[in-house]
Amino acid sequence: MPDGAADNATTAEPTRYGFEFRGTGSEYFRIWIVNLALTILTLGVFSAWAKVRTLRYFRGNTFIAGHAFDYHASPLRILIGRIIAVSLFFGYEISAAVEPIYASAWLLVIGVALPWLVNASLRFNARYTSYRNVRFYFHGRYFEALVAYVLWPIGGFATLGLLMPAARRARDFFYTNNHTFGGRPFHTQFSAGAIYLIYFIGVMTTFVTLGLAFGGAWYGGSRVLKYLHLTVNKSLITGLVIGFYAFVYLVIVSIAPAIHTLIVNLSVNHTTLDGKHRMRSRMWAPAVAWITVTNALLTLLTLGFYYPWAKVRLARYEASKLSLLMDGDIDAYASDVSGTQSAVGEEIGSFFSFDFGL
């Protein structure tokens, strides 16, 4: 072999498979309105069936490489899970009303139960989700959930929010690193500095925007009153005040989805499947904030009837920005995984898995 021949060898580029959501607002509206009516008529009992119908619609309309996801859950098991969760809630409310000191004991009970509820819910939703007849699974353990969902948030509150970014990072690690696809693991890993930077940008954007808004309102208001010699119309003042507070509110509600989007991008872009296939998310934070805020406004203005279109609109955008970089052909991989997923078959039959709406 001539010298340097090895240097000419090239590695095949990964194949990009983009996600696509094919549902429409009008289709989902018909499902949503029936779900809503039956849930009201049955005093909430039908909500378990409503959730299954909704998830089957959204996952069944999410495609990658020409194939859709599927959802196979039993509504009855969701109903049982919700009865357990509601029982805990009402037990707390009744005990606290009878004797406030009992509330502390119930908070301890809920804190102890929360990791189990989280694991059971995540395990349930994963195991009943499939792609090309290959099931997902969740392997989280009680102590891991206790750390991610109880101890880290307590640390965040105790430090006045300083540990909240680290708590969110721990939760993302717990969620992603305990999921598998046909027994093949997902894994994500990113630095604490990266997520702290996102929160820092969010906090600084909030303070700067609000500072400019309040400063501008104070300066502008004083100038108006000065030049008009306090004879300005009261309705104009009222309109300006309402407009100012509306602007401040929109800024505040836009920051949360923007931060969430940046964190999702960070986590997904560091996620691998089976140690070699990579995930990619290219969502633009201002776009998600715009979609979230306008969805909320349109839903409010239509007395809730825009909600189906709002949910579909966001799902379509999120799917369009998500992709999978496969080291090889996705058809061959799916067939290979399908042949080895029987190793988790017995675990999928576990009784202690419910959906609690977490």
Structural domain of 278: 15-73+270-349
Asked if residue 301 is part of any domain, the answer here is yes
Does residue 337 sit in the same domain as residue 299?
A: yes
**pLDDT attached to residue 16:** 94
CB 43 within 8 A of CB 17: no
3 state DSSP class of 316: helix
Give, in degrees to the nearest 5, the angle at Cα 292 between 287 and 298. Answer: 120
Q: Report CA dihedral (110, 112, 116, 122) to the nearest 10 degrees.
A: 60
Mean pLDDT, the chain, whole residue set = 85
Does residue 290 sit in the same domain as residue 325?
A: yes
Does residue 235 sit in the same domain as residue 285?
A: no
Asked if residue 239 is part of any domain, the answer here is yes
Of the chain, the percentage scoring pLDDT greater than 70 comes to 82
Asked if residue 201 is part of any domain, the answer here is yes
Per-residue confidence at 42, pLDDT binned at 50, 70, 90? very high
3 state DSSP class of 135: strand
Per-residue confidence at 153, pLDDT binned at 50, 70, 90? very high
CB 299 within 8 A of CB 307: yes
pLDDT tens digit sequence for 203-262 = 898 888 777 767 766 666 556 555 555 555 566 666 666 777 777 777 778 899 999 999
CB 198 within 8 A of CB 263: yes
Asked if residue 51 is part of any domain, the answer here is yes
Q: Report CA dihedral (152, 158, 162, 168) to the nearest 10 degrees.
A: 20
**pLDDT attached to residue 225:** 55
Residue 63 CA, distance from chain mean position: 19
**pLDDT attached to residue 259:** 94
pLDDT tens digit sequence for 268-302 = 999 999 999 999 999 999 999 999 999 999 999 99
- Helical ranges in 178-280 per DSSP H: 192-228, 234-268
pTM: 0.84
- Cα separation, 24 vs 319, in Å, equals 14
Q: Report CA dihedral (291, 295, 296, 301) to the nearest 10 degrees.
A: 140
Does residue 197 sit in the same domain as residue 238?
A: yes
Q: Report CA dihedral (195, 196, 202, 207) to the nearest 10 degrees.
A: 180
Number of Cβ within a 10 Å radius of residue 61: 20
CA end-to-end span of the chain: 60
- Cα separation, 197 vs 190, in Å, equals 12
Can you give the length of the chain in residues? 358
Q: Which two tokens stand for residue 190?
A: 């990113």
Please classify residue 325 by burial: count the beta carbons closer than 10 Å to its beta carbon, then call 0-12 exposed, 13-18 middle and 19+ buried. Answer: middle
Q: Is residue 331's pLDDT more than 70?
A: yes
Does residue 241 sit in the same domain as residue 277?
A: no
Q: Is residue 65's pLDDT more than 50?
A: yes
Does residue 288 sit in the same domain as residue 334?
A: yes
Q: Report CA dihedral (199, 205, 208, 209) to the nearest 10 degrees.
A: -140
3 state DSSP class of 195: helix
Does residue 275 sit in the same domain as residue 343?
A: yes
* Residue 47 dihedral angles phi and psi, to the nearest 5°: -60, -30
* Residue 188 dihedral angles phi and psi, to the nearest 5°: -135, 150
Residue 209 CA, distance from chain mean position: 26
Domain count of the fold of the chain? 2
User: Measured on CA atoms in the order 21, 30, 25, 315, is the torsion positive or negative?
Assistant: negative
Asked if residue 90 is part of any domain, the answer here is no
pLDDT tens digit sequence for 169-180 = 999 999 999 999
The CA-atom distances, in angstroms, between 185 and each of 54, 198, 208, 337 are 27, 27, 42, 11
Asked if residue 137 is part of any domain, the answer here is no
| Alpha-carbon radius of gyration of the chain | 25
Last residue of a domain, one of 247, 280, 312: 247
Asked if residue 150 is part of any domain, the answer here is no
Does residue 341 sit in the same domain as residue 274?
A: yes
Q: Report CA dihedral (316, 33, 250, 197) to the nearest 10 degrees.
A: -40
| Average confidence (pLDDT) over 192-199 | 96
Asked if residue 34 is part of any domain, the answer here is yes
Q: Is residue 107's pLDDT more than 90?
A: no
**pLDDT attached to residue 171:** 96
